Amino acid sequence: MQRIELPPASRLRDPSFTFGVATASFQVEGATQADGRLPSIWDAFCATPGNVKNGDTGMPACDHYHRWQDDVALIRDLNVDAYRLSIAWPRVMTQDGQPNHKGLDFYKQLLDRLREYDIRPFVTLYHWDLPQHLQEHGGWLNRDTAYRFQDYVSLVSRELGERVDTYATLNEPWVSAILGHEVGIHAPGMTDARLARQAGHHMLLAHGLGMQTLRSEAPEAQAGLVLNMGPNTPNSQRYDDRVAALIGEASMNHWFLEPVLEGRYPELYTRLYPEQAPRILPGDMELISQPVNFIGINYYTRGIVSYDNEHWVKGHAAKDAEVTDFGWEVYPQGLTDLLVDLDAQYTLPPLMITENGMAGDDHLEQDRVHDEQRCRYLQSHLQAVHDAIEQGVDVRGYFAWSLMDNFEWAEGYSKRFGMVYVDYATQQRTLKDSARLFADFLRQRPTSR
């Protein structure tokens, strides 16, 4: 593919539309023991054989903690407006709640360099690396963790001050609550549906408390949260399958959004599964539903959903569909449908696509990586965002996941989501064809620098 095609008058060509690339601390930083960083639940999870493919761990990841200067130069070369990164809580705060200045200096230098290059930092405060010492007191099952999160947000916003334009409190609480506490394939590896929803409630409480702190300590910053979503499509037009799809929507797409926008959990789900309902204390829903400046949406695929006489069975690719190296269906129309549906159902704040991308079976050949499928994926999903905007949805930005190949959670280093290829043995970075395509598109915008 030579270049990204979009209609000449597309809002995506407007200087006010933000383009970026995204990463997360545990996935790229490595250096898990450097400068007083404490262990996180993901270090502990990786240490148990069988949890992560090939026994992979957070070392070396992309060794970004030491190579950040080169990496920021790479980001600049992509011509993006913004960079979405996350702060590692266990790097910046000691066990007794004091600042760890060495860890903080890493982020300060990084943020200052981004500023020098005129790249706006979009900072996620929690992208799943909970300090392990908090897990030892119950982690997200302990309501107190939400208050510890507030202390952490207060520390970060005071220390980083005006360096940060935009904060997201949480990344994908659905994934950390449900995959971490019900399905058990993410840290901390629990398997209890009720506890999972309780953990999720405490995460939302943390979001609300974090928002309060950001409003008082970083009043100039934009603040919101990031949710993963995708349409749940019924496997057939049978009544049962259509009900299963509705339950899927409530369980996944609305479970975290409805509390934030409307101060309540989806009734369809709490009525069907009252035994899973979280314990809510007076005042919680008010805290959770305070105004946000944006909602970030991470979109990868949709799920085909069916009913098997007992449960709703979720989330496989459509038969014969094109899939990625993860087995996820390539379905750009799902992004348009999702955005248009959300806009019809809620009074939404502005939306940002905070992650979108795909895992590819990428190979380095003579200093090039021909990731043709990712180029097409990028083109079709940008078109999908354009289409949603044309239908009236207020989408303000798009971040590609990911800047570079990195530690893909339970899949370890086996799945490559980057626009930049990483050779983990040498830590050599190579721009894939998709990175070149993206950079060219961004260079040609009227905004180009």
Tell me which residues touch ligand FCB (CB under 6 A): 24, 27, 171-172, 175, 228, 298, 355, 401, 408-409, 417
- Whichever of 172 and 337 has its CB closer to ligand FCB, that residue is 172
Cα gap 158→155, rounded to integer Å: 5
Which of 157/406 has CB closer to ligand FCB?
406
The distance of closest approach from Cβ of residue 129 to ligand FCB in the complex, given in angstroms and rounded to an integer, is 11
CA 123 – CA 407 distance, rounded (Å): 19
**Nearest distance from residue 228's CB to ligand FCB, in Å?**
5
Q: How far is the CB of 171 from ligand FCB (least distance, A)?
A: 5
Active site (annotated) includes residue 172 = yes
3-state secondary structure of 5: coil
- Which CB atom, from 27 or from 379, has the smaller least distance to ligand FCB? 27
Quick check: helix, strand or coil at residue 422?
strand
DSSP one-letter string for 160-228:
HGGG-SEEEEEE-HHIIIIIIIII-SSTT----HHHHHHHHHHHHHHHHHHHHHHHHH-TTSEEEEEEE
Residue number with CB closer to ligand FCB (355 or 387):
355
| DSSP 8-class letter at 251 | I
- Alpha-carbon span 118 to 110, nearest angstrom: 12
Nearest approach, Cβ of residue 392 and ligand FCB (Å): 27
Distance CA 39, CA 139 (A): 13
Name residues whose C-beta falls within 8 Å of residue 261's C-beta, 6 or more positions apart in sequence.
Answer: 289, 295, 346, 347, 348
Q: Between 294 and 409, name the residue whose CB sits nearer to ligand FCB.
A: 409
Return the SS3 of 327.
Answer: coil
Q: Which is nearer to ligand FCB, 232 or 235 (CB)?
A: 232
CB of 31 to ligand FCB, least distance (A): 18
Compute the least distance from the CB of residue 226 to ligand FCB, in Å.
8
Determine the longest span between alpha carbons in the chain, in angstroms.
62
The smaller minimum CB distance to ligand FCB, of residues 160 and 170, is found at 170
- Which residues fall within 8 angstroms of residue 276, CB to CB, at 6 or more apart? 193, 194, 196, 197, 269, 270
Measured from the Cβ of residue 130, the count of other Cβ atoms closer than 10 Å reads 23
- Shortest distance in whole angstroms from residue 422 CB to ligand FCB: 14
Q: Among 159, 329, 355, 408, which one carries the catalytic annotation? A: 355
Least gap, CB of 326 to ligand FCB (angstroms)? 8
Cα–Cα distance for residue pair 225/210, rounded to 1 Å: 10
**Least distance to ligand FCB from the beta carbon of 41, Å?**
15
What's the first-to-final CA gap in the chain, in angstroms? 24
Q: Phi first, then psi: what are they for 20, rounded to 5°?
A: -155, 180
Of 353 and 389, CB closest to ligand FCB = 353
Q: Looking at residue 238, what DSSP letter applies?
A: S
Phi, psi angles (nearest 5°) of residue 100: -100, 100
User: Rounded to whole angstroms, what are the CA distances from 93 to 38, 90, 432?
Assistant: 8, 6, 36
Place of tokens 């200052």: 112
Q: Toward ligand FCB, which CB reaches closer, 17 or 300?
A: 300
**Residue of 29, 159, 172, 329 marked active site:** 172
Burial 134-168 (b: 16+ CB within 10 A, else e): bbeeebbbbbebbebbbebbbbbbebbeebbbbbb
Catalytic machinery residues = 172, 355
